[in-house]
Structure 1
Amino acid sequence: MRLTPRFLLSAFDEAHFPKEAQTHNAPEVAFLGRSNVGKSSLINALLGGTQARVSSTPGRTRSINFFGLYDDPRPQPEVIFADLPGYGYAKISKSISAEWSGFIDPYLADRETLALCICLVDTNIPPQPPDTQLINYLREIRRPFLVVGTKSDKLSNNTLGNSVLALKKGHGVDEVMPCSVKDQRNIKHLWARILATRDKPFVD
Structure 2
Amino acid sequence: MRLSPVFLLSATDVSHFPTKAKTFDVPEIAFLGRSNVGKSSLINSLIGSKEAHVSSTPGRTRAINFFALHEGAGEKKKIRPTLIFADLPGYGYAKISRSISSEWPTFIEPYLANRETLALCICLVDTNIPPQPNDTQLITYLKQSQRPYLVVGTKSDRISGNVLSKSIAALKREHEVDEILPISAKTDAGIKTLWSRLMAVAED
TM-score using structure 1 length: 0.95
1:138 maps to 2:162:
no
Question: Separation in 2 of the partners of 1:98 and 1:139?
Answer: 23
* Counterpart among 97, 101, 104 of residue 97 in structure 1: 101
The list of structure 1 runs, each at least 4 consecutive aligned residues, that deviate by more than 3 angstroms after superposition, is none
Q: Which stretches in structure 2 are left out of the alignment for 5+ residues?
A: none
Specify the SS of the correspondent of 2:116: coil
Question: Separation in 1 of the partners of 2:65 and 2:19?
Answer: 14
Question: Separation in 2 of the partners of 1:140 and 1:11?
Answer: 25
Specify the SS of the correspondent of 1:119: strand
Corresponding residue of 2:17: 17
User: Relative to 1, partners in 2 of residues 1:195 and 1:144: Cα closer, same or farther, differing over 3 Å?
Assistant: same
Corresponding residue of 2:194: 190
8 A Cα contact 2:62 2:100, kept in partner? no
Query: What's the CA shift for 1:50?
Result: 0.4
User: Relative to 1, partners in 2 of residues 1:132 and 1:139: Cα closer, same or farther, differing over 3 Å?
Assistant: same
Question: Separation in 2 of the partners of 1:163 and 1:95?
Answer: 30
8 A Cα contact 1:88 1:95, kept in partner? no
1:54 maps to 2:58:
no
Question: Separation in 2 of the partners of 1:16 and 1:55?
Answer: 23
The Cα RMSD (Å) is 1.2
Corresponding residue of 1:159: 163
Aligned length: 200
TM-score using structure 2 length: 0.95
Q: Deviations over 1:80-118 (max 9, x none)?
A: 000000001122225962211000000000000000000
Aligned runs of 1:18-97 on 2, under 5 Å?
18-72=18-72, 73-94=77-98, 97=101
